[in-house]
Every structure is written in C-alpha cells, then in structure tokens.
Structure 1
Amino acid sequence: MTVRLEHANYTVSDGEATAAWMQKLFGWHIRWKGDATSGGQSIHVGSDTQYLALYTPARDTSEKADSYTTRGGLNHIAVVVDDIDAMEEAVKEAGFTTGNHADYEPGRRFYFHDHDDIEYEVVQYD
C-alpha cells in the first residue's frame, strides 16, 4: 500500500495574501477556493497532487501560543527545492527574513516566518 500526504489545512488571517506569495515563490496554483465551515473561506494552493488548504475564518483571528509547547501546535511547513540559494533570494525579495541556516545530512535548510508568524522550512537535498 502506498500512502502519500495530500494536504494540510491551517488557519491564516488572509488566505488570498498567503496564496499570492505561495504562488509567486513556489510556483503553485490555486486548485479551488470557496466557502468553508463557520462562514469562513478556504483556498487550496499547491500542485496538481499536493496542496495546502488555507482557511480564513469569518471573524478576526487571534495570535497563537508557542506551537512547540502547545499540544497539536503547527510547528512548521517544509518545502523541498532544487536551488536553495535562489529560493532564499526570492524569499528575501518577497519581504521575509530568513534564518536558522544549517547544513545537515542529507542536505541544507533555512527557515522563515510569514505575516501570520507561521514558520516555513526550505530544504535542498544533495
């Protein structure tokens, strides 16, 4: 039996804005968008086989607690790239600050936080 991750769903303050920077940086596309639970909106952004479901509630969002000390917290989303240096430049040009750079077996990585303080890891495997 083959199992693969299809999507992850998490809450953002502005799904349109998040989907826009993801399309620009990651080359993804909007697969679907529409009404969602509790009067909110969901946008599915990604590739033809995998995506992130960005949920924006109908009311204002609240800031999250530290995800690493909250049971069920989202710690980060990771993407794999072919050229980590080019992606880091693009991330900086999009207005995000990169950090926590590391070389590790079997590759390299860096992290950045978006406007909702969600952490993203960018990985290039050797």
Structure 2
Amino acid sequence: MTRGTLEHANLTVSDIERSSALFQKLLGWHERWRGEAKNGGETIHVGDERTYLALYTDRQPYEPFGRSVPLNHLGLLVDDLDAAEKIVLEAGLETFNHADYSPGRRFYFFDWDGLEFEIVSYA
C-alpha cells in the first residue's frame, strides 16, 4: 500500500493578491513562489513547507462557476476556529453552517469568487 497527502490545489481567482493575503492571515502561511502562468496569467503559491494553494488568474474576464460546480468545498484545518472566523469576517466575507460535532467544530464561507471553504478545528 502507498500513502499520500494533498500537496496543493490550484484555484482560479479574480484577485490573487487579495486571496493570497486572506490565506496568509487565516492559516499563518507565506508566499512560496510567484510567477507568470499560462494565457498571460499570474500565479502565487501560498502555503507552508508541505502544502499550498496555487492561486491563478489570467487576463480574461473572470467567470465563476455555479455553487458547488465543479468543487463542493475545500476544507482547511486551523488551531483556533474563533480567531479564524474573525479573520474571515474582517475580510468582508460571510460565514455560515456553523456546527459542533465529532470530531470538531466548523464553519463555511464563500470567497469573493464563489469558492466554498470549510474551516475546521479539532482543538
């Protein structure tokens, strides 16, 4: 048997600077890399030493997918759920679907581009 872990997810967003700043503050991550990308676009890799989000934008008008198409949500683990929610709210985003059941507490939010995130804490 082999074992693995999620190394990165590549997300198309309308404003990579804004999205990068949110994930750096929310998760304590840093910018790992930045550079030119396909179609005259730009990418920022924001994460830690093991995992990251590749945030991509191109020069075309951004056209978001419908809710939960093609991705339902991306789950992110934090140590302090209350502090994480404060950061999301301070970014001008709304949280919803708060739950407290085994094995942890969680809430959800949509970013500015309609991408859904689940923030969970097992603390």
TM over 0.5: yes
Secondary structure of the residue aligned to 2:105 is: strand
Structure 1 range deviating more: 87-96 or 53-62 = 87-96
- Using structure 2 for the length normalisation, give the TM-score: 0.91
Tell me, in whole angstroms, the C-alpha distance in 2 between the residues paired with 1:66 and 1:96: 16
Q: What is the CA distance between 1:51 and its match in structure 2?
A: 0.1
1:50 aligned partner: 51
Unaligned runs of at least 5 residues, structure 2: none
Q: Contact 2:9/2:54 (CA < 8 Å) preserved in 1?
A: yes
Unaligned runs of at least 5 residues, structure 1: none
Identity of aligned residues (%): 54
Secondary structure of the residue aligned to 2:17 is: helix
> Runs ≥4 in structure 1, deviation > 3 angstroms?
none
Q: What is the CA distance between 1:26 and its match in structure 2?
A: 1.7
- The aligned runs of 1:51-90 (5 Å cut-off) are 51-67=52-68, 70=69, 73-90=70-87
2:110 aligned partner: 113
In angstroms, what is the RMSD of aligned CA positions? 1.4
- Using structure 1 for the length normalisation, give the TM-score: 0.89
Aligned length in residues: 122
Tell me, in whole angstroms, the C-alpha distance in 1 between the residues paired with 2:91 and 2:34: 23
Letter in 1 for 2:102: E
Q: Provide, for residues 19-68 of structure 1, a one-character-per-residue CA deviation record: whole Å limited to 9, x for no partner.
A: 0111122211110011111211111001111000011012111121232x
Say whether 1:94 aligns with 2:95.
no
